[in-house]
Structure 1
Amino acid sequence: MTVVVLDDEEKVCRLILQLVDWSSLGMVVVGTAYNGIDGLALVERERPDLVITDIRMPGLDGLELIGRIRESTDGIDFIIVSGYHQFEYAHNAIRYGVEDYLLKPIKKDELTATLEKIAERHYRRVSAEQTNRDLAARLKNSLGKLRKDFFHDFVFALPSDRRVELETINDTYGYHFRDGLFQVIMIKIDCPPSDFSDGIVRMIAEKAESASHAFLDGSSSDLELYIGVCRIHIVIGYPESERQEVRKAVKRINDELQVQASIFEVVQLTTSLGQAVETIERIAESRRDAEIAMGQRLFSQTGQLYEELPPFLSGSCNDALAVWNRDMEHTCDLLDEEEAMEAVDRLMRSVLSQKACTGVLLLDALKEAGHRLFVLLRNRGEETVEDLSALERRFESELDLLPSVKALQDRLRTLTKNLLESMAESRRQAESRPIREARRYIGDHYRESGISLEQVADIVGLSPSYFSLIFKRETGSGFLEYLTGIRIDYAKELLRSSKQTVAQISSAIGYSDTKYFTRLFKRMVGIKPSEFRKLYS
């Protein structure tokens, strides 16, 4: 496997060359360059399998270089090296398909581990077409799936009293656990929803896996990771004698993740540790404890290791949610945004005031509050607001990414405010529809002397009083004023362009009494019809 090293500092290039036993990895460094332009020429000439490049270089920076190479060449892996802890670089690197990144100062162990991982990927890719390698890959994938199935069957299951022999677990799911203690470690990814991506999770998960094996393999009989949407669960088995060493290792994992997370400005990582259990079938209890401990970051801060459980775990938000239901019913009737915000704040105060309030309880309460609001809208026939099911799914997933009580409260406030605004707009459109029909009808029939508010209200299907109210709100004029304006405008046009008499024009626009028409015309225009004709015909 051939390698090119690019960095604007010659000493960094030398360091990379000296830190690694390249031949033991099956790699050969075929060239180095100290700026982006020379680096691009070197890559185009040598066509290496791997490029290790700094982000900042003169002439052409690392990301531009990767973009240029990707446009013309396939099959090259990249590692970026940077001292810049910025989300933008990592985000762009993911977009260009970068396999990994290293932060300066470069550590020998981390560089070696990264190269081993990329070498493994490279040779797996090269040999994928060989039949025996295909078979090995299928067997490995099958084993990986079996190990992941253990999480669904036991880790994420509800705690129970079922008995399963450890040997059965090992044989069924491909583990090598031995008698001792079993524990769940959780790593939580918090991130503004607009910045969150699968690429971020994938890169963090790789770092978490690397750190877990580096710090825990020496103490554990086996461990496995499960990558969720914004949570990484690690199951570990170890002897009782290693309990303190495992806890120290988990702290080191959390510390290492804080360093790695610094490249993502908007990402916050927190680690929690469930209580150790003595039998593998009780592992769901440890997972539950890790989730409860993780919830405490909402009241404190992210970036810490949480393992202590709050003193009270049994709480209910039913009373607070019942009040929320009544508040939302009233708010949806009035579409009162201020009252809606007060309802959100009242719900938060009620939940937080409970002695047994945990982060898990708070998060569940807010998800339930959102669900009840969506149910209320569906029951009231507000499906036209938007795709309520999609909105509800997005709301729940976004709550899961937020790191604090305030962020959760703000998100519920935003949801409630946006839904009220959508409902108000939907109602405005629903109310304006009959007014549009009424205006069309008036435009077609204003010449008829018998046209009236009651007649038009009946045609559009509204009561006269309600029709009168919304007609004035939509048009800015009362019905009679609007009708008279239409008639007088048409009278002006006839006076300018026709030779009809005033009496004929009066009759043509729906007035049988010419004297009444003349008085009305003068009141609205300021002069008599005959005078208007002299001035404007």
Structure 2
Amino acid sequence: MFRILIVDDEHIILNGCSFMIKETLELPFPVEVLTANNVPQAISILEEQVPELILTDIRMPVMDGFSLIEYIRRNEIDSDIVILTSHADFEYARKALRYGVNDFILKPIDEASLKKTILDCHQKKAKEAEEQKNSYYMKILTMFLYDISAADLLLTDEILNDLFPFTYFSMIVAAMEEPPSNLDNTEALLKQYYNTCHCYYLSEQKQLICLCNHDTFFVKPADLKEKLFQTLGIPFILGTSISSSSIHKLHHLYTNACQRIFYHKAFGSNENLTGAACFSYQDCIQVFNETDESKMQKALLHYIERINLVKDPSSFYLEQIYISFFQNIVLYLEHVGIRENTDEILTLPQELDSTDKLIKQIIFRICQIRQKIKSDYSDENNEVLINQLLDFIKSHFQNDISLDDLSEAVGMHPNYICSFFKKATGQSYLTCLHKERIFAAKKMLKETDLSIESIARQVGYNSSTQFARIFRKYEEISPSEFRSQ
């Protein structure tokens, strides 16, 4: 429902404008009209609901239209404002541009002008809503790819609940050599099984990723792979994650789905090797990050004994355990953004014919990998890298900078950039970006007469509402309050 609030002390204009909107304009969408004959009445309405469009007079008793506009901006109400004015008041009304007023309508009001104003506002709001939704989905992508928290991405519980209203989440990942021709068809198919679904195609990873939200814990349709192949028309390897009731576990779900793809590549459909594929991701990472070699040996022996379902394992079976372990390490290194030669890591050692040799070879390869990482990522290189990243943010803060942009700028993996930036500066790259934008905005608020909406867009935000929310987070006052200091 598109809401319009009309504020005018002249009852003829108030009622006439309301009647025109409801009865004669023939708008192509449903409209609710709210009316107030003074500013206090309008404020009472705004305390209860937020209209998309506010049509207001300037000259009114008790409080004038500027007082209303100041209230709207101070309280960060996301409404477009159009001033109703006579020719005599026009110069006076121009002052309202400072407050980010969207337009003027001259009295007496004619149908054509009023209809155009409403249609323009509706189109603008619809476009903003679509852009905002797409922006949220890209932040969700950042969440599960790089394990960045929703709070760092400024995704509130209200936003997340609106995007994903159902209880459970799961991730479907399809590894494919060719891009899918139509994501909409894939989403439509998955919505036959899940309540909601949003799909991404990542060309660099060659992955189709589908984030599913559903109201039952267990959803695993037997014919999904066949139906997906019919829809996509290209070969793929499918990995379906477990389910979780927490949206903050999306990265774990993505990792789980990718792990299943790795296992399929390593073992295919050979059911006799199921045990060899049972190394958990967390088991492997715990061993990889352990610095005490005796503890590494003990942990590996425990994990291998747990999964070793064969009494006297053959060399082939032990090789599959080795591959399974390092498939998880490859996945982990990708997560933290470290580029290593996957084929080299997964190269099998010779004479892997006993559990003892398996453990020794795993530890030997871990030490090799860790030594190479230490050499490649020295402190001297890190200092140069952080300066490059900070310079890039300062030069491009007006744009919607992503981890992929930073990655391309310095030639490093986005996962590594994410973890490295926070370790080097004590804050996420997004916090640094917001601070740079706020610094520039404060300068513009003090030194120019630009509207807050204009400043918001010039420093990289989609709307004055988003800008005001972030400004208040870092400065503890609104942009309007800062400007008036």
Bin the TM-score by the shorter chain.
under 0.3
Greater C-alpha radius of gyration: 1
Normalised TM-score (structure 1): 0.23
Structure number with the bigger relative contact order (C-alpha 8 A, sep ≥ 6) is: 2
